Amino acid sequence: MTDRLGLKQLGIVWDTADAGFEENIAAARAFYAEHGTLAAPRGAVALDKPARQ
pLDDT (tens digit per residue) in 8-53: 788 888 888 888 898 999 999 999 999 999 999 999 999 998 887 6
Q: Is residue 2 in some structural domain?
A: no
14, 8 Cβ separation under 8 angstroms = yes
Q: Is residue 21 in some structural domain?
A: yes
Q: What is the pLDDT of residue 18?
A: 86
Enclosing domain of residue 37: 13-50
Alpha-carbon distance values, 10 to 4, 24, 25 (Å) = 10, 20, 21
Q: What is the pLDDT of residue 12?
A: 84
Q: What is the pLDDT of residue 53?
A: 64
